[in-house]
Amino acid sequence: MGKFVIECPSCGRYAEASTGFFAKKKIDCACGYVINVKTDKLSSKVCPHCGNTVVFDQSKGEDAKCPVCHEKINTRESMAALSEFTCPSCSCKLSADKSAHTYSCPLCDTVINVQERIAKEDIKNQGLASVVKYEGGNDTFVWKHPIEDFNLGSQLIVHESQEAIFFRDGKALDLFGAGRYTLATQNIPLLENLYKLPTNTTEVFHSEVYFVNLTTQMGIKWGTDSKVRLFDPASGLHIEIGACGNFSLRVCDSRKLLVKLVGTASEFKQNEIMGDPYSIASVVGKFKALVMNKVKANIARIIKENNINILEIDEYIDVVSDKLRVAINEVLGEYGLVMPEFFVTSIMTPDDDPNFRRLKQQFADKALRVREEEIRKAEAEAAQGRKILEAQTEAQLKMVGAQGEAEALKIKAQAEAEAYKAQAFAEAEEMRAKGYTYQQETARMVGMEAMQNGITGNGSGGSGSALGDIAGLGVTLGAMGGVIGMTKDALNPIMQTSADIGSGVVASVGDTWNCACGKTNISSKFCPECGAAKPEAKAGWDCACGQKNITSKFCPECGAKKPEVPATWNCPECGKSGIETKFCPECGHKREG
C-alpha cells in the first residue's frame, strides 16, 4: 500500500491518502469537505515549473509529472517551494515555484515575472531591500536583480568570481568586486555625481543591479550545421567534411558585455551562446553564426596552409583547435568575452563520397609503392653487401693460397735439406762401418776412373804414350773436377803417376776440417766420430784498397768499414727470394711492413 498527498478541491489544503484494497476511500478535510479519493485524485493544477494548467493523477504520488514540461508536479519539495504572490493587473492571489521565471495569470493572462514580483512583495511586506545578492544559477553569465529601488544603507553581497554593476538609464556606472558593501554615497560616486542621492536612509533611489559571473563556463558544445567543402592539397581532390567539439567561455570585460550584449534583458545564460534545440522554448544562439563562420572559413585554410592530409587530420587536431580558438577570440573580445579553450573532438569524413574513396585508394597505393621501394632498396643493399663480402673473402683466400704456396715451398726445401742431412749421416755411418774416410773413397773413385781410361801411371808406354795417358787423365779428371767442384789447378802434377795424381786430386778435393772431438782432417760434412756438422766458413769481403777475403768488420790495411748488406725479403705471392727492392720483380707485389 502506497501513500500520496491529495489536494482538497475546496480549500486547497493537502491531506494524506493511500492506495490499496483496505485504504480509505473518503477523507475528511479540516475545512469540512469530504474528499472522495477515487474521484478527486484527478486534479487540475497550475504547474509551478512551466505555469501551465494541467490535469494529473495525484495517486501517483511524487512520481506524478506535468504532461507539458515533464517535471515532477506533486513532490513535497515542490509544494514546500511554492511562493504566493498577487497578479499586478487583477490582484488575483497566485502561487508558483520559487525558481519559476514567468507565470501567466489564469484570469487576465498577464505574463508575470515571478522573481521580480516575489521580491517586490517581500520588500513591500518587510520594507525596502535590505540585502542585495546573486540568486541566479551556475550556468548564468549575467543575472539582473529583480529589485530596482534601493535605499542607502542596504547591504550588497558579491561572491567570489562575481562582479556587481549599477546601471542608471542604460549607463553602466559603479562596479563592485567580491565582498560585502553598505550602499552609501561614498562608495557609489558615479551615481552620486550623475544624480543627487538622498542623504536620508529612508529615501529610495532607483537603479538596476547586474551580477556578472566571472567563472569559466565549460563544456559548451558546437558543431558545423553543414559540410565544409575544401581542397585536399595532398591529392588535389575536393571533398566535404564536418567537425564538432566543445569550448569554454569566460567574461573578461563586464561593462562591455552588458552594454553590447545583454542590454535590458534580465539574464544571459549559457544555453544562449549556441542555442538549445532541446528546450521547449526556442533559445536563439547569439554566437552560433560567429562560431560557424570562423570554423568553416578557417578549417579549410588551416588544412591548406599546413599541407595536412585529410586522412591524417587526427594527428593535427590540436593544431587546428588552437588556430580556431585564436580566430574566434579576435571577435569575441568585442563583446567582453574570451574563449580560453576550444576543442575539435571529431572530424567527420565523407566515407560515401567517391572522391574520398578515391583519395583513400591513392593514399594506400602510394604507401604500398613506398614500401615496395624500401624493400627493393634493402634487397639491393643486401646484394651489394654480399658482393663486397664475397670479394673480400676471395681476396683473403688468394692471400692465404699465396702464403700457402710459399709455405709449401719452404716446407719442401726443409724436407729436402732434412733428407740430404739424413743421407749424409747414413753415408758417414756406412764409411765408418767399412773403416775408411770420404777422402779415401774419393781417391778410390779417381783411380777407378783412371783405370777405365787406360792410365796406368807407370810410364811403360813411352814418353809419348805417357804424355797421352796423362793428357787423357787430365781430361778425365777435369771432367770429374767439373762434376765434384774441383779446379784444374788442384790436378797438379802431370809428371806424377796416376796414383800420385789421384792422391793429389783427393787431397785437393778433400777440403778437410778438424772437429771439436779431436778428429782431424775430416773431409765429410759430418764428423765420423761424433756426428757434428761441419762448421760453415765465414764469408770474407773485398776492400776497395785491394785487400781480399777480409773476415773482420774493418779492413786491416786501410781501416775501411765493412759495407752493410742490404736486407732482403721473400715474396709471399710468387715465392721469389732474396729481393732487395720494395716491389717483387716477378709479380710486382709490394713489400709488407
In a domain, 546, yes or no: yes
When mean pLDDT is compared over 41-55, 87-101, 537-551, the highest value belongs to: 537-551
Chain segment 75-108, per-residue pLDDT in tens: 655 555 667 778 877 777 787 766 667 777 877 8
Provide the 3-class DSSP secondary structure of residue 565.
coil
Same domain, yes or no: 450 and 548: no
Same domain, yes or no: 346 and 221: yes
Same domain, yes or no: 489 and 583: no
- Counting Cα atoms < 13 Å in the Cβ hemisphere of 102 gives 7
In a domain, 449, yes or no: yes
Provide the 3-class DSSP secondary structure of residue 248.
strand
Q: How confident is the model at residue 12 (pLDDT cuts 50, 70, 90)?
A: low
% of residues, the chain, pLDDT over 90: 6
User: What is the C-alpha separation between 507 and 503, in angstroms, rounded?
Assistant: 6
In a domain, 572, yes or no: yes
The residue from 315, 350, 385 where one domain ends is: 350
In a domain, 36, yes or no: no
Chain segment 268-307, per-residue pLDDT in tens: 888 888 876 555 444 567 888 889 889 988 888 888 888 8
Among 86, 87, 45, smallest CA distance to 68 is for: 45
Whole-Å CA distances, 402 to 299, 571, 578, 593: 75, 9, 17, 17
Same domain, yes or no: 497 and 547: no
User: What is the C-alpha separation between 221 and 345, in angstroms, rounded?
Assistant: 10
In a domain, 479, yes or no: yes
Q: Which residues of 231-243 are buried (b: 16+ CB within 10 A; e: fewer)?
A: ebebbebebebbb
Mean pLDDT along residues 59-72: 74
Same domain, yes or no: 237 and 312: yes
The residue from 490, 509, 528 where one domain ends is: 509
Same domain, yes or no: 343 and 233: yes
Compute the mean pLDDT over every residue in the chain, rounded to the nearest whole number: 75
CB 213 within 8 A of CB 140: yes
What does the DSSP 8-state code read for residue 82? Answer: E
User: What is the C-alpha separation between 442 and 141, in angstroms, rounded?
Assistant: 138
Sign of CA dihedral 416, 421, 425, 427: positive
Mean pLDDT along residues 141-149: 83
Same domain, yes or no: 225 and 333: yes
Provide the 3-class DSSP secondary structure of residue 201.
coil
User: What is the C-alpha separation between 510 and 524, in angstroms, rounded?
Assistant: 8
Pairing of strands 204-206, 162-168: unpaired
What does the DSSP 8-state code read for residue 32? Answer: S
User: What is the C-alpha separation between 203 and 186, in angstroms, rounded?
Assistant: 16
- pLDDT in the model for residue 505: 39
Q: How confident is the model at residue 490 (pLDDT cuts 50, 70, 90)?
A: very low
Same domain, yes or no: 488 and 441: yes
Same domain, yes or no: 563 and 469: no
Whole-Å CA distances, 454 to 241, 283, 398: 130, 154, 61
Cell of 76: 513535497
In a domain, 103, yes or no: no
User: What CATH number did the domain enclosing 261 receive?
Assistant: 3.30.479.30
Chain segment 394-405, per-residue pLDDT in tens: 787 777 777 777
When mean pLDDT is compared over 73-82, 169-178, 260-269, 271-280, the highest value belongs to: 169-178
User: What is the C-alpha separation between 430 and 424, in angstroms, rounded?
Assistant: 10
User: What is the C-alpha separation between 500 and 461, in angstroms, rounded?
Assistant: 17
Helix 498-509 to helix 438-452 angle (10° resolution) is 140
Domain that holds residue 445: 436-509
In a domain, 191, yes or no: no
Same domain, yes or no: 590 and 495: no
Number of domains in the chain: 3
In a domain, 409, yes or no: no
Chain segment 428-467, per-residue pLDDT in tens: 777 777 666 666 666 666 666 666 666 544 444 444 444 4
Residue ranges of alpha helices (H) inside 36-113 are 37-40, 76-80
Same domain, yes or no: 230 and 344: yes
Four-CA torsion 294, 297, 300, 303, nearest 10 degrees: -50
When mean pLDDT is compared over 30-39, 189-198, 475-484, the highest value belongs to: 30-39
pTM exceeds 0.95, yes or no: no
The residue from 295, 325, 350 where one domain ends is: 350
Question: Does residue 338 surpass a pLDDT of 90?
Answer: yes
- pLDDT in the model for residue 191: 66
Helix, strand, coil content of the chain in percent (nearest 5): 40, 25, 40
Same domain, yes or no: 502 and 546: no
